[in-house]
Amino acid sequence: MEFNKKKLARSELIGLDVKIIESENRFNRGIKGKIIDETKNMFIIKTKETRKKIIKDQCVFEFKGKNIQINGKSLSTRPEERIKQR
Confidence label for 3 from pLDDT (cuts 50, 70 and 90):
low
Residue 1's pLDDT is 40
CA–CA dist 30, 82 (Å, integer): 26
- CB within 8 A of 51, min separation 6: which ones? 36, 44, 45
Residue ranges of domains in the chain? 5-84
The CATH code that applies to domain 5-84 is: 2.30.30.210
pLDDT digits (tens, 9 = 90+) for 21-79: 999 999 999 999 999 999 999 999 999 999 999 999 999 999 987 789 999 998 888 88
pLDDT digits (tens, 9 = 90+) for 4-15: 788 888 888 999
